[in-house]
Amino acid sequence: MTLRLKILVIDDEPAIRRLLRGSLGHEGYDVIEAGDARAGLAAVSIDKPDAVLLDLGLPDRDGMELVPLVKAAGAALLVVSARDTTEEKVAALDLGADDYVTKPFDTHEVLARIRAALRARRQQGSEDSIVGFGEVEVDLAARRITRRGVEVHLTPKEYGFLAELCRHPGRVVSHAQLLRAVWGQGHENDVEYLRVAARGVRRKLEDVDVERSAIRNEPGVGYRLIA
Amino acid sequence: MSPARPDPDALLRTAARASTGRLKVFLGAAPGVGKTYEMLSDAAARRAGGLDVVVGVVETHGRSETQAQLAGFEIMPRARIAHRGQPLEEMDLDAILNRHPALVLVDEFAHTNAPGSRHDKRWQDVEELLAAGIDVWTTLNIQHVESLNDVVASFTHVRVRETVPDRLLDNAEIEVVDLPPDELIARLKAGKVYVPHEAARALDHFFSKSNLSALRELALRRAAQAVDAQMLDDLRASATGGSWAVGERLLVAVGANPVASEVVRAGKRLADALRAPWTAVHIETTGERSGPAAAHLAQAMQLATQLGGQVLTLSGPSVVDGLADAAADTRATLLVIGRPQPRRWPWQRRLHARPLARRLPGLSLHLVQTSHAEAAGHGLRPPMPGIPAGLVPSFLATALVTALGQAIFARGNNITNVGLLYLLPVLFAATRYGLATGILTGLVASLAYNFCFIPPTGTFTIADPQNIITVGVLLLVAAVASQLAARLRAQALLAARSARQSAALAGFARTLTGMARPEALGDVLCAEAARLLDVRAVLLLGSADDLSILATTAPETPLAALDLAAARWSVDKGQPAGRGSSTLTACEWLFTPLMAGGATLGTLGVARGDGALPVRSDQLPLLGSLVDQAALALQRIRLEQEAADVRTLEERDRLRAALLSSVSHDLRTPLTAVLGSLRTLEPRDEEQRELLGVARAEADRLQRFVANLLDMVRIEAGAIALSIEPVDLAEAVASAVHDLRRALGTQPLRIDIAPDLPLALVDPRLFHHCLINLIENAARHGGEGPIAIVAARRGDGLDLMVIDAGPGLPPGSEARVFETFTRLEGSDRKGGTGLGLAIVRGFCKAMQLDAIAANRNDGPGACFTIRFPPDRLRQPSEPE
């Protein structure tokens, strides 16, 4: 008997909760629902959900305030909101959200993001040292990259950029997080470094057009590795 | 002081010379040396060299050589000015300003314009031409130079009224047109020199060889001095080294007397020689001046301004005290005072010099020997003492005391007591009517005392020497008391006047602080100016091109065109204009600009009903204070209004942001539910599959419409907050294509973006929306053919093009497609909202990019371009 994963949906719109209940249920998750922040926080501490889908526009509190609280409880967190400014997305990610989906959303995309977030949560601690995408394999422990079995040499910054994405496969990693991890404090605004690194990695590891690249650009927010 | 530091004033003067037009003066010693001829032949050479030269005004005086030189020049027609029915011709200043040549020739620099011209003097016209950046060449005789006017008059005995301020020569290039005196006299005899009719009688004397030699020397020296001054400026500006004298400062004491102007000129010459700044100061000790004295003073002060000096008027208990204060204030090192004109009283001679030397030991004194001829030349004689006032009551009082004394004396009292009684009428006369009356009363009283009481009575003989002392004391008391009383009275008058003005100004300032509207302020200002100065007043606000009357105390008299011109001038130049100023003096009003914070807010006009000068010179400070306070208050009102406007705007922006956020939430949430539900539904048969397909497509369309509508509202509201970052165009296009993948379906797509292009500086989210809209537009109207997305360098810039293979845009509609809700006739478009391209243009504009629509020139189809100028691109630096 497999343990069914529990997912908490915090949203004040019954229609959205109904929609997500159906889709998530089909996928084999247990769904818990909460209509406001108070009920949501109670469910987080009582039911210990594995993942939380959080709407930011709640009637009693701003959903943004719940982000660190939910993260502290150890659940994977996906923000689902109608707010679509890059500032809000970056803020939610910086507070600890695993991903951000704007309404109106595609249900399949939400499901894929949940899977990625849950996988990342499972892998916490026991870091999976080998990540593969396309024809490429990245061995994080050995700092070794092969393409079709042939070792490829990347510059240290290109490797750092790719490695940081590989540590969070399928999830969006914000510009600031990437820049901090590779270039260190004080370079959080040097987005052009990332553009150059992304060009280098794609040139050396992929033959495909940019729109089919596994290293996907999230405009204004960050990068995501489609593993 | 560091020796290599450039003098900022000198730098400024050098800069002013560079940006405005340059003045060249052909300076001659006397009429007939050939200045105009020389100027024309020099100009002809420049014209041959391709310079744009016009003749503004040149007087040939019928000389054929000069006339011949004029040939080939463009000559500006003169303006006709009707004066008392007589047409006069003057240089057409506005025509030259409009024509704007590189160089204009203006003969006779010192010429006085016909009444009704814009400026009194031609040199003022020239100043305006120079300010407009036009170079001016002009001619001048040395006797017309202001500061040399006295000197020339002293040996030629011909005084000219038309003079040019020295400061104009200081910045000018000077060419001396030199002719030896013998040759000039020969030319004169040959009739080659034009001589004005009225000067003919003075001619023989003027053109004597000694005079001409002296004039020639003056001209050469003045030219050398100008060259010297300019060289010194350049030297100081570049601080190339050398040493120069530090800080002589001149203070020129100006009295209200006929020689005042002479003292001012002398001070100016001395200041020039010392290269020192100078201030003309007048010390006001008593009440208001009578007619001629006030006129002398006003003339001298105006002359000082024209000669480039500072002007200062101080009130003080005495001239000496006032001068001491002024010297301390201006940190003067040298005081220039004129020897008083013909002495009336022996003690007046050393009036200022000795006490001043005592008061200010560090100050050098320079006494100017003024000419008596000057006073005579002005037709003035030393004022005669008239009959002193108040003699009748004073003598009556003396008679009364004599009668009283008789009564007391009859009772056997000592006559000394009676003598004391006589002090009463003397004190009365001296304190009330001044020195002359006091002395006369003292004389009469002593005579009466002598005659009636001193033995032997009934005669004017004095037997006892003791009684002589009594008579002397009576006279002395009269003198001292009258001096004391006169001084007190003058002080009291001054104090009362300044208290009145202070009170009025304080009250005015208090009223202004409470004002919230400019209209109320205008009413108060006009009323106050009218009350304090006894004038009609009008306040105009706005810029020079757009002046409107805000308030007036004389609504029944509209402003004439000339008055309006003066008002515009004063606003434009930030200087007074009109009657009593030096510009547009023919008009009835005097306009004083309201300046605050470096800007001119408007101008206050004042006029007197009887056509007299609107404001006496001693009232000018009061007018200045009124105008300054009003300007500050007006600026405060404006700033408050602006602050209130900003607050309103901020409040509106906050509301709009809240509304947008709420609307977008309320529209998107139900759409999400609808779309999500439709996707999860499984159709049972073919019909349901078809219907479900329609429902999904329409819901998608609705979703795009809502997104576009919200974007459009943001653009229209100006509520776009940009967050610019460097974006890789290939990545940005990839993201847009990814988001559109489902909507594009099987439409073929070609992306051609080189991997080494510079990064674009855009707001990533706005740019994403632009791309989505452009690609969607191409998919919708481009038929089944392939869509190409191409980036191409264009000079230093970059074009990103979305090209379709559809029917293209109807000819002539290329610019219109970007308008809101434009659906082009004849296009087979369906499902469009008419908003997408308007959003593209709006967002591009916000990001300072160009959005261009055109048809392909290599086949059917449309091409939409986002054009990046070079400053919106960045070549990425290596991230190491």
Q: Which two tokens stand for residue B267?
A: 């001070």
Same-domain status, A114 and A18: yes
d(CA A165, CA A184): 16
**Strand-pair partners of B703:** none
Q: How many helices (H) and strands (E) does chain A have?
A: 8, 12
Mean pLDDT over each residue of chain B, to the nearest integer: 78
B720-874: CATH architecture: 2-Layer Sandwich (3.30)
**CATH topology match: B8-238 vs B250-377:** yes
Same-domain status, A66 and A160: no
Measure CB to CB from residue A196 to each of B670, B753, B878 and give the nearest one.
B878
Q: Which two tokens stand for residue A213?
A: 């690249």
Same-domain status, A112 and A28: yes
A186 touches chain B (CB under 8 A): no
**Cβ contact (<8 Å) for A219 and B673?**
no
Q: Are strands A99-102 and A76-81 parallel, antiparallel or unpaired?
A: parallel
Number of domains in chain A: 2
pTM over 0.80: no
Neighbours of B386 (CB within 10 A): 7
For residue B350, give every residue at least 6 positions away whose Cβ sits within 8 Å of its Cβ, in sequence order, or none.
none
Q: Which two tokens stand for residue B328?
A: 């301390």
Among A64, A99, A123, identify where a domain stops. Answer: A123
**Cβ contact (<8 Å) for B876 and A191?**
no
Same-domain status, A140 and A79: no
List % helix, strand, coil for chain B (3-state, nearest 5).
Answer: 50, 15, 30
Neighbours of B435 (CB within 10 A): 18
Q: Is residue A1 part of a domain?
A: no
User: A32 vs B32, which has greater pLDDT?
Assistant: A32
Q: Is residue A37 part of a domain?
A: yes
Residue written as token pair 């845009």: B809
Domain encompassing residue A74? 6-123
B670 touches chain A (CB under 8 A): yes
Confidence check: pLDDT of B350 > 70: no
What CATH number is given to the structural domain containing A43? 3.40.50.2300
Of B810-819, B823-832, B859-868, the range with the lowest mean pLDDT is B823-832
Same-domain status, A67 and A108: yes
Q: What is the pLDDT of residues B127-140, one digit of tens each?
A: 889 888 899 999 99
Of B612, B475, B432, the residue nearest B533 (C-alpha): B612
Q: What is the pLDDT of residues B7-24, one digit of tens each?
A: 656 655 655 555 688 889
B250-377: CATH architecture: 3-Layer(aba) Sandwich (3.40)
Confidence check: pLDDT of B409 > 80: no
**Cβ contact (<8 Å) for A192 and B731?**
no
Q: Which two tokens stand for residue B224?
A: 């050398």
Same-domain status, A140 and A109: no
Q: Does 3.40.50.300 match the CATH number of domain B8-238?
A: yes
Confidence check: pLDDT of B220 > 60: yes
Same-domain status, A218 and A186: yes
**Which H or E run contains B83?**
strand B79-83
Summarize the confidence of residues A153-174 as an average pLDDT. 90
B664 touches chain A (CB under 8 A): yes
Of B849, B853, B842, B848, the residue nearest B867 (C-alpha): B849
pLDDT of residue B348: 43
Among A123, A155, A171, identify where a domain stops. Answer: A123
**Cβ contact (<8 Å) for B669 and A15?**
yes
> Closest Cα of chain B to A125: distance in Å?
31
Same-domain status, A53 and A90: yes
Strands of the sheet containing A130-133, edge to edge, are A130-133, A136-139, A144-147, A150-151
Same-domain status, A198 and A178: yes
User: A3 vs A37, which has greater pLDDT?
Assistant: A37
Same-domain status, A106 and A134: no
Among A123, A151, A184, identify where a domain stops. Answer: A123
Distances in Å between the Cα of B72 and the Cα atoms of B44, B95, B105, B182, B226 are: 8, 19, 14, 33, 33
d(CA A29, CA B396): 128
Q: Is residue A185 part of a domain?
A: yes
User: B462 vs A23, which has greater pLDDT?
Assistant: A23
Annotated domain spans of chain B: 8-238, 250-377, 391-489, 514-643, 720-874
Same-domain status, A57 and A114: yes
Q: Which two tokens stand for residue B167?
A: 């400061």
> Closest Cα of chain B to A126: distance in Å?
31
Of B509-523, B706-720, B817-831, the range with the lowest mean pLDDT is B817-831
Contacts of A196 in chain B (CB under 8 A): 876-879
Confidence check: pLDDT of B416 > 80: no
d(CA B770, CA B88): 69
pLDDT of residue B719: 65
CATH class of B514-643: alpha beta
Same-domain status, A73 and A170: no
Residue written as token pair 């009336």: B344
Contacts of A22 in chain B (CB under 8 A): 680
What CATH number is given to the structural domain containing A176? 1.10.10.10
Residue B760 Cα to chain centre, angstroms: 47
Q: Are strands A150-151 and A144-147 parallel, antiparallel or unpaired?
A: antiparallel
pLDDT of residue B278: 85
Q: What is the pLDDT of residues B526-546, one digit of tens each?
A: 888 888 888 889 999 888 788
Q: Is residue A169 part of a domain?
A: yes
> Closest Cα of chain B to A210: distance in Å?
6
Neighbours of B315 (CB within 10 A): 16
Confidence check: pLDDT of B790 > 70: yes
Confidence check: pLDDT of B351 > 60: no
pLDDT of residue A77: 92
